[in-house]
Amino acid sequence: MVKTALNQFALAAAVAGALGLAASPVFAAGEGKEKCYGISKAGENDCASAAGTHACSGQSTADYDGQDWKYAPKGTCEKMGGKVEAFKGMGNPASKGQG
C-alpha cells in the first residue's frame, strides 16, 4: 500500500514537472517581444509549430521554416527575414534589412 502511494506521488510529481517545463517558453515572451516565424534554425524554435507537426520548443527540423517561430524584439521580425504570421515555405534571413 505504501509502495503504491509512493509510485502515485512520483508519477504526479513527474507530470507536474513536465507541465511546468512545457509552459516555460510561453512566459518567456514578456513585453516588447513578438512571435516571429521563419527565423529559427532547426532545433532552436521557441514553441509548437503552427502546422501542428510538433508541440514543443526545440523540435523544429528545418532552418527558417515559416511554420516555426521564436520570440524577437517587437518590430524587428521582418528586418530579420521573418514574418509575424505563420506562412508556407521558408524565411529568408539572407534578406535582412531589405524589406
Condensed to tens digits (0 to 9), the pLDDT of residues 63-91 reads 999 999 999 999 999 999 999 999 999 99
Question: Where do runs of H (alpha helix) occur along the chain?
Answer: 2-27
Q: What share of the chain is helix, strand, coil (3-state, %, to 5)?
A: 30, 15, 55
Sequence letter at residue 7:
N
28 pLDDT more than 70: no
95 pLDDT more than 50: yes
Q: Are 46 and 57 in contact (CB under 8 A)?
A: yes
Q: Are 41 and 82 in contact (CB under 8 A)?
A: no
First to last CA, the chain: 66
Model-level pTM? 0.66
Q: Is 73 left (phi over 0), alpha (psi -120 to 50) or beta?
A: beta
- CA 18 to chain CA centroid, nearest Å: 16
24 pLDDT more than 50: no
